Structure 1
Amino acid sequence: MAKLVPLSGGYYLWKYLPSLAAAAIFAVLFGVVTCVHSFRLWRSRAWFNIPFVVGGAFEFIGYVFRIIARNNTASITSYSVQSVLILLAPVLFAASVYMTLGRIIRSINAEKLSLVPVRWLTKLFVISDVIAFWVQGGGAGLMVVQSMGTISKVIVIIGLVIQVVMFSFFIVTSIMFYRRAQQQLRYEASDGPQIPWRHHMFTLYAVSGLILIRSIYRVVEYAMGMNGYLLSNEWPLYVFDTVLMFLAMVIWAVRYPGQIRPKKAEMELIAPEDEESI
């Protein structure tokens, strides 16, 4: 029978016995939606969506390791893998979201309407994403060391705060661009932008909102500490992280931004085969 088992020093990695049913259900769901993303990526060759596929794989593997951890709650490897991968997956989703905005702006030739110069737009947000990724990953990796508990918590919070601040700025940038574009394109001739850029902007807003809510939850979770309510109970993880990230993947898969083809790729970090590379 599965039960909580402490490490040799009496330290418990888990504050609760992870649910087998919940982990199994979401392992299957994330596995399926990641396959859908992989298929759509292959069909569209829209390589800026690669981070979404990798993030989905992170989620799938993370919940598989939660299943494994249920019967071995003293396994540092199982605990670390699921904790790190589930924590970092949304950072990868954010990378695709950042690149999508830049491509939308280029596609409708609206560079002058961007709050951040387009040549820096993708680079600024993706670089901040990479920094948040490594900071959070480093902190999460130290959480299994009892003597490093406080330090690891602070490191993870710093990484999450970086993500929340930059993502909030990104949302402001997106909204300002949309409002300016709405005003300008209203007076353009019918031969203006032919791609459904508004459609993609709404998708971007929906997914961004889900990621932002999840990131704020994570900041509060770690700020409350290892013995706080959020880390001592499992249901908040599924309600404020798992379900939100699954919905983000579903929305992105259904309203896939695969047909956005800017005329220039000089601001893209991942350019399609048929575009000029950096």
Structure 2
Amino acid sequence: MTDFVKHLIAREDSETNLFYYVPSRAINIVALVFFVIAFIGHTGLAIKFKQRWFGICFFIGVGLEVIGYIGRAMGSNNPYSRMAYIIQTTCLTFAPAFMMAGIYYLLALVVVIWGYEYSYFQPWTYSRMFIGMDIFAILMQSSGGAIAATASGDGGNTTLGTHVMVAGLALQVVSTIFVGVASALYYHRLRTNQPWSHTINKSRASYGSVRDSEKAAVFDRDHAVHLRTRMSVIRNTRWAKVTILMSILATVLIFVRSIYRVVELGEGWAGTLMVTEVYFLSMDTLLVGVAVWLLMVFYPGWALGGVQISEGHRASVMEL
């Protein structure tokens, strides 16, 4: 039986085929292989460069993409599989949210390296604020996806789950916009040398110098000099600037994908975008795949080395 005939049969029996089509086995297996390679690459690079938060976020995010495409591959063999549908719906919907959490951490790292006297917030504040929004968006998307997928499989009403998922995706879009505005403002003040008055006197702390507070961690003078030198080297390398540009591009790709998913879910589970695989493959698979590979080829660790920041807004270098 040809794929086209299988597709027609599946569309006619849409009461039990939750996909409303037969997923392309070849394309989804190719996507699975690409994400498996990316998963191995990101995991290996995270270990090599000791990128804790960024590495963990992409380990989870890309791992969920792998699981999601396993679900789609299962669906290509049996489009009536409720398990396959739930796996691909839940995993592929909120996997990019974990990736965005890793990218938000990069913003804080950039602020530390280039100087947070140009930032309105202290470095870790970005992480707490935007990653907090992202985690909430993840919880909303995952719970909404589970509710909707379960209801759809039981022939029930998916409205509640759909609304929760849309709200989670919308929150992710909003948080990305906020990050974009914060990044643009930081870049403008950095280029025009306009430090914020309330942070200029704190900027030395981002390089690990001694602070007056007895509770603050104290770095010895040699370490402070080493850290300051490492920051200066990073700032003056072309690779660091290219890495930042690639991170921005990856953010834009995931942002566009999130808007697509909001519109898709807004149409409903039987909407044109939801039941046409080519839209999913071009607006989700392709965009997320390119973003993941960009951040693997231009992995932040190559340019930023083992620089880390703590919740005390203090920088340190993990020796590689």
Tell me whether the two structures share a fold, i.e. TM-score over 0.5: yes
Letter of the 2:160 partner, please give it.
Answer: I
> Matches of 1:34 and 1:15 in 2, distance apart?
29
Are 1:193 and 2:225 an aligned pair?
A: no
Are 1:39 and 2:48 an aligned pair?
A: no
**Partner in structure 2 of residue 171 of structure 1:** 180
Runs of 4+ in 1 over 6 A off after TM superposition: none
Aligned counterpart for 1:159 among listed residues 168, 178, 181: 168
**Partner in structure 2 of residue 77 of structure 1:** 83
Query: Which structure 1 residue ranges, 5 or more long, are not aligned?
Result: 186-190
Provide TM-score, normalisation by structure 2. 0.76
Is the CA contact (8 Å cut-off) linking 1:107 and 1:263 kept in structure 2? no
Is the CA contact (8 Å cut-off) linking 1:5 and 1:73 kept in structure 2? no
What CA deviation, in whole Å up to 9, does each residue of 1:75-110 have, x standing for no partner? 2211101111111110011011000110111123x2
Going from structure 1 to structure 2, the CA distance change for 1:263 and 1:231 (only over 3 Å counts) comes to closer
**Partner in structure 2 of residue 256 of structure 1:** 299
> Matches of 2:307 and 2:37 in 1, distance apart?
30
Is the CA contact (8 Å cut-off) linking 1:106 and 1:263 kept in structure 2? no
Is the CA contact (8 Å cut-off) linking 1:118 and 1:267 kept in structure 2? no
Is the CA contact (8 Å cut-off) linking 1:104 and 1:262 kept in structure 2? no
**Partner in structure 1 of residue 218 of structure 2:** none
What CA deviation, in whole Å up to 9, does each residue of 1:223-272 have, x standing for no partner? 1111211001001111011111111111101111113555752257xx98
Which aligned pairs between 1:122-271 and structure 2 lie closer than 5 A?
122-144=127-149, 145=151, 146-184=155-193, 193-195=232-234, 196=237, 197-258=240-301, 259-262=304-307, 264-266=309-311
Going from structure 1 to structure 2, the CA distance change for 1:52 and 1:225 (only over 3 Å counts) comes to same
**Partner in structure 1 of residue 222 of structure 2:** none
Deviation at 1:205, TM superposition (A): 1.0
The DSSP-based 3-state class of the residue aligned with 2:157 is helix
Aligned counterpart for 2:92 among listed residues 86, 92, 106: 86
> Matches of 2:191 and 2:85 in 1, distance apart?
48
Is the CA contact (8 Å cut-off) linking 2:268 and 2:274 kept in structure 1? yes
> Matches of 1:126 and 1:256 in 2, distance apart?
20
Going from structure 1 to structure 2, the CA distance change for 1:182 and 1:209 (only over 3 Å counts) comes to same
Going from structure 1 to structure 2, the CA distance change for 1:36 and 1:261 (only over 3 Å counts) comes to closer
Relative contact order (alpha carbons < 8 A, sep ≥ 6): 1 or 2 greater?
1
Provide TM-score, normalisation by structure 1. 0.87
**Partner in structure 2 of residue 55 of structure 1:** 61
> Matches of 1:126 and 1:181 in 2, distance apart?
24
> Matches of 1:52 and 1:272 in 2, distance apart?
22
What CA deviation, in whole Å up to 9, does each residue of 1:3-51 have, x standing for no partner? 63999x9444121111101111100011111111111111111112221
Is the CA contact (8 Å cut-off) linking 2:57 and 2:99 kept in structure 1? yes
Going from structure 1 to structure 2, the CA distance change for 1:103 and 1:126 (only over 3 Å counts) comes to same
> Matches of 1:63 and 1:208 in 2, distance apart?
22
What CA deviation, in whole Å up to 9, does each residue of 1:139-175 have, x standing for no partner? 1111221323111111110001100001111011111
What CA deviation, in whole Å up to 9, does each residue of 1:43-65 have, x standing for no partner? 11111222112211111111111
The DSSP-based 3-state class of the residue aligned with 1:202 is helix
> Matches of 2:316 and 2:91 in 1, distance apart?
27
**Partner in structure 2 of residue 188 of structure 1:** none
> Matches of 1:43 and 1:61 in 2, distance apart?
24
Question: Larger Cα Rg: Structure 1 or Structure 2?
Answer: 2
Deviation at 1:118, TM superposition (A): 2.7
Aligned length: 266
> Matches of 2:309 and 2:60 in 1, distance apart?
26
Q: Which has the higher helix share?
A: 2
> Matches of 1:151 and 1:41 in 2, distance apart?
38
Query: Which structure 2 residue ranges, 5 or more long, are not aligned?
Result: 195-228
Is the CA contact (8 Å cut-off) linking 1:55 and 1:93 kept in structure 2? yes
> Matches of 1:177 and 1:260 in 2, distance apart?
22
